[in-house]
């Protein structure tokens, strides 16, 4: 860290609400304190001791601890960028928070804390933005490696400045992780052509680095992009590459890919081709798959209902309903009830059918993804045509801009 002495004094002064005049009263001149904070002064030990005492700073001088902590930080970030668990490093760094905040590893600890919050709470959590805002005040005190880690962490948060932060990180260290993060940013903005170009660059860089994790996820993202372009041949090409890369690495990825392939076939009404992939996706294990299994069961039921195999349709719809608990988002229960209305009760003329379909259409893009959004749009258009509401059908077809 650059100018740790000046940094820690300024940081604690701002944290405690002191002005420079308040802090240095009876100790030194304001101009002298300003020079210390800027790193251009050479304060005497007595003045530093008085400033530390007024701010309640207890400087940690345990070199063995800081050296071990630096090793733990290096290991944590290395594992983070390779999508590996770092529980032991995280536990050690959390345990020694107080000591590390009072030494030259202060900013490094807070950068670690930002990453740990992202892993625990996700990219939209207010706690993550609070930590990023704290770090942003001290960029001038960061060494190049710290600045790179800060820009990457800030770029992982979903914000209007996300792409700008990632590009700043790329100017410092143009590695595959940052390139993949840029691709994911474009994808989240539904700019699929830019996402494809960025993911291609990420894969090339990852192949050069030997980064299996980024090669896998860039291939996965390419498959998802081409799926959203309704290009099934390229979708299959990249999803199959991702499945090969995932063998022996992460079985949950394979389950997600099979679910996505089955979903794409379903969108194109290729039900017999969709069913085997959706069935295979139900065999996956891993975190985050329970909700996917509900959706897979619902989509399987549609495949079987549409091909006249009603007994299997009932079976998989019931399995999906059994998996759906009150802790799940409401849209899952609405989706399953809507499937009952459409395929079991066959009551598409009911008023609740139309209102529920409209509600699912409005909410699906944000909560269930592009595939369901297009599926419900298709069913809305079908309903409008049956009701001879042709202008509304044409307007909706134009709105969703089918590729």
Interval 196-237: pLDDT, tens: 999 999 999 999 999 999 999 999 999 999 998 989 999 999
Residues in the chain predicted with pLDDT less than 50, given as ranges, are 402-403
Which residue stretches of 17-105 are H helix?
A: 20-24, 30-38, 45-55, 63-81, 87-95, 97-101
pLDDT for residue 287: 64
**Is-contact 296 278, C-beta < 8 A?**
yes
CA distance 380 to 393: 8
pLDDT for residue 43: 80
Cβ neighbours of residue 366 under 8 Å, at least 6 residues apart?
A: none
User: CA 248, 249, 255 angle in degrees (round to 5)?
Assistant: 90
Which residue spans of the chain are classified as CATH 1.25.40.10? Answer: 250-346
CA distance 178 to 201: 10
Query: What is 4-55's CATH topology?
Result: 434 Repressor (Amino-terminal Domain) (1.10.260)
**Is-contact 266 299, C-beta < 8 A?**
yes
Which tokens is 174 given?
A: 């143009």
pLDDT for residue 215: 96
**Is-contact 372 364, C-beta < 8 A?**
yes
pLDDT for residue 284: 73
User: CA 210, 215, 218 angle in degrees (round to 5)?
Assistant: 150
Which homologous superfamily does the CATH classification assign to the domain defined by 250-346?
Tetratricopeptide repeat domain (1.25.40.10)
Burial class (CB in 10 A: 0-12, 13-18, 19+), 335: buried
pTM: 0.83
Three-state secondary structure call for residue 97? helix
pLDDT for residue 403: 43
CA distance 99 to 112: 15
Which residue spans of the chain are classified as CATH 1.10.260.40? Answer: 4-55
* Residue located via tokens 């959203």: 228
Cβ neighbours of residue 142 under 8 Å, at least 6 residues apart?
A: 1, 2, 107, 150
CA distance 279 to 308: 17
User: CA 28, 63, 146 angle in degrees (round to 5)?
Assistant: 75
């Amino acid at each position: 860290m650059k100018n740790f002495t000046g940094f820690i004094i300024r940081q604690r002064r701002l944290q405690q609400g002191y002005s420079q005049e308040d802090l240095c009263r009876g100790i030194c001149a304001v101009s002298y304190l300003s020079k210390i904070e800027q790193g251009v002064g050479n304060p005497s030990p007595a003045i530093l001791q008085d400033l530390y005492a007024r701010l309640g700073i207890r400087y940690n001088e345990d070199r063995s601890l800081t050296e071990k902590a630096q090793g733990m930080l290096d290991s944590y970030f290395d594992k983070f960028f390779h999508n590996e668990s770092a529980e032991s490093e995280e536990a050690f760094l959390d345990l020694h928070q107080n000591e590390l905040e009072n030494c030259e590893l202060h900013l490094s600890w807070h950068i670690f804390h930002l990453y740990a919050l992202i892993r625990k709470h996700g990219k939209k959590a207010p706690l993550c933005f609070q930590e990023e805002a704290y770090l942003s005040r001290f960029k001038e005190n960061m060494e190049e490696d710290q600045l790179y880690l800060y820009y990457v962490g800030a770029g992982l948060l979903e914000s209007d400045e996300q792409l700008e932060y990632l590009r700043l990180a790329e100017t410092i260290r143009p590695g595959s992780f940052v390139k993949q993060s840029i691709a994911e940013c474009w994808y989240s903005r539904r700019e699929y052509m830019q996402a494809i170009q960025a993911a291609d660059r990420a894969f090339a860089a990852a192949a050069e680095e030997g980064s299996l994790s980024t090669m896998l996820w860039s291939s996965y993202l390419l498959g998802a992009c081409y799926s959203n372009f309704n290009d099934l041949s390229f979708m299959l090409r990249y999803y199959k590459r991702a499945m090969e890369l995932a063998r022996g690495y992460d079985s949950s990825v394979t389950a997600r890919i099979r679910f996505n392939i089955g979903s794409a076939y379903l969108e194109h009404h290729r039900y017999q081709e969709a069913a085997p992939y959706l069935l295979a996706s139900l065999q996956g294990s891993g975190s985050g798959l329970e909700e996917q299994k509900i959706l897979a069961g619902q989509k399987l039921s549609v495949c079987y209902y549409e091909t006249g195999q009603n007994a299997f349709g009932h079976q998989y719809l019931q399995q999906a309903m059994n998996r759906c608990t009150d802790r799940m988002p409401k849209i899952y229960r609405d989706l399953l009830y809507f499937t009952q209305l459409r395929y079991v009760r066959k009551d598409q003329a009911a008023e609740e059918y139309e209102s529920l379909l409209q509600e699912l259409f409005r909410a699906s893009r944000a909560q269930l993804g592009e595939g369901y959004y297009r599926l419900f749009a298709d069913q809305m258009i079908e309903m409008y045509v049956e009701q001879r509401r042709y202008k509304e059908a044409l307007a909706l077809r134009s709105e969703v801009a089918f590729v």
